[in-house]
Each structure stands twice: as structure tokens, then as C-alpha cells.
Amino acid sequence: MPELPDVLLYIESLKPRILSQQLERVRLASPFVVRSVAPPLSRIHGRTVRALSRLGKQIIWEFDGDLFLVVHLMIAGRFQWKQRYAKIPGKLGLAAFDFPTGTLLLTEAGSKKRASLHLVEGKAALRAFDRGALEVLDSTPAAFKHALTMENHTVKRALTDPRFFSGIGNAYSDEILHRARLSPMKLTSKLSGDEIVRLHEAAKSTLKEWIERLRTEAGSDFPSKVTAFRPEMAVHGRYGKPCPDCGSPVQRIVYAENECNYCATCQTDGRLLADRALSRLLKRDWPRSLDEWETHLESRR
């Protein structure tokens, strides 16, 4: 799922292309992508884009007439900037937005279509999409601590909860926790003051670093490689590969449709966190440390 750095890059890349431009029309390949009924999407045909902003992981287009288009890319939604009136791709295409400067395509990979468009009228209606989460990059240590400890959850869940923190998802939470040297499964109520300060600093520095990385990578081009899996990442999506700081193999916990990646040496004092499915299968044979895990791997060779 595109997270804060990716969403910011999309907005920065869209501004010189569609800001102050008239949206000629919206072409829909899948009517189900539009999740609102009134006002109809045709209301923004011929209107000018006055502002682009972000609410969490949602991109907000503001038009003349106090109309707002809320775009949520979800997991697999992506934008592509093409020549004017470009054809919508057959399998992946959801919609096309035609401007005098070109056409913006909205696509989504996979069979589950979760990306959405909502058109609302008035700022009061727009506020319904604001979860009131903390913007980490602008936050004070006190505000960060308040959001983190508002409810007692694992620190991984707290960071990815859109009610608490804005724009952080599975990928960057892994990177933040690795930089902070914290276990993803530690409860927020058990964090010391020093650990909360460390986590706050890690969150800010990680997000700032990746925003700059993505800006440099894209340059003036429209971003075409928006992905949660990047080889430069420390742990996310790098299961079994060496941690860049200590060389230990990156571990993972698989749950639902996601996985949590971490370094046992750097984050959990060498203890392996129990993967619910595997630990239930292996029971007492589940390794509790990296030494036991390496012995387990050696026995299978």
C-alpha cells in the first residue's frame, strides 16, 4: 500500500501536471471504484483543480465549487501519467482523468478491487474522511507519546493504526522499528520514556530519509515504481536476507495478508517471535533464539 512517502511523491508529481488545470472528463472502466452517489462524478467535469493535499494515505483533489475528490489507492492502486486521452488498460484499469496536459490513469493490480473514489461537497463532508491521526513529521515528543499510548497495543499495531498515526503502514513501520531497535510485539504500555523518545526520532528520520530517496529517484519524472518492497530497506520484505547492521537473517511474522519483518539480534535480544501459524504447527519444536533457528536449519541440510 502506498504510504506517506509514496503519497507525498504522487502529490508533488501531480501538482505541476494538473494543478490549476481543468479536468475535461473522467472515464470509468469500473463503475465500482466510485463509492459515493451524490454529487455525481460528472459534477467535476470542466472544473479546475485548485489544490492537492493528503489525509492519511488518501489524496484529496479540491475543485471549484467546494467539491473534493477523495482518492484512496489502498493496497494495489497506482497512478500512471500518460499522453492525452490514453486508453485505459484492459485488466488493471479503473479510471482515466483527462486534462489538457495529459491523462492520469488509475490502475489496480490483483483480483480484489479496493481502490476507491469519493466525491463530496463542502469541507464538512470532507471532514468525515479525517481520522484525526497524528502527523509524525510535524509532531512534538509529547504529542507522539500521547498518540502512541492512547490505547494499549503492540507497537507495530499502534504505528499502523490510522486513528493514531497518519500515513504509516506495514512497510515503513518495519523500518521505523528496526531503526529504533524495538520489538514490533512490545506493548505500548511497557515502553520506557527513553524508548518512546527513540521511536519518535526513528519515525521522523526514517520517513524524512525515504521522502528524499523517492524524490531523488523520481526526479522530474512521474513516479512509476511505487512499491512497498525496496532493496534498500533494512528489514521490510527481506526475510532470510542479512540485516544491514548486524548481518543476522531477517525474520518475519505472517498474519492475515501481511507480514512483519524484524531483526532478532537488533530488536529482540536474539529471541525469535512466534509466528502464529508455524509455532502452532511446530509447538515445542519452535526455535526460541537465533542459535536454535540456525541449528534447526543445519539439521535440514
Give residue 65's pLDDT.
95
- pLDDT, tens digit (0-9, with 9 covering 90-100), for 54-76: 999 999 999 999 999 999 999 99
What is the enclosing helix (H) or strand (E) of 27?
strand 25-28
Share the mean pLDDT of the chain. 91
Residue with C-alpha cell 512499491? 227
- pLDDT, tens digit (0-9, with 9 covering 90-100), for 114-126: 999 999 999 999 9
- Residues 6+ away with beta carbon under 8 Å from 138: none
Compute the average pLDDT of residues 36-54: 97
All domains of the chain, ordered by start, with CATH?
4-129 (3.20.190.10), 147-295 (1.10.8.50)
Cα 150 to Cα 189: distance, rounded to the nearest angstrom: 9
Give residue 40's pLDDT.
96
Residue with C-alpha cell 536449519? 297
- pLDDT, tens digit (0-9, with 9 covering 90-100), for 90-106: 999 999 999 999 999 99
Whether 74 contacts 116, CB under 8 Å: yes
The separation between the first and the last C-alpha atoms of the chain, rounded to the nearest angstrom, is 36
Cβ neighbourhood burial of 286 (10 Å; 0-12, 13-18, 19+):
middle
- pLDDT, tens digit (0-9, with 9 covering 90-100), for 137-173: 999 999 999 999 999 999 999 999 999 999 999 999 9
Compute the average pLDDT of residues 230-241: 96
Cα 143 to Cα 140: distance, rounded to the nearest angstrom: 5
What is the number of other CB atoms lying within 10 angstroms of the CB of residue 266? 23
Share above pLDDT 70 across residues of the chain, in percent, rounded to a whole number: 90
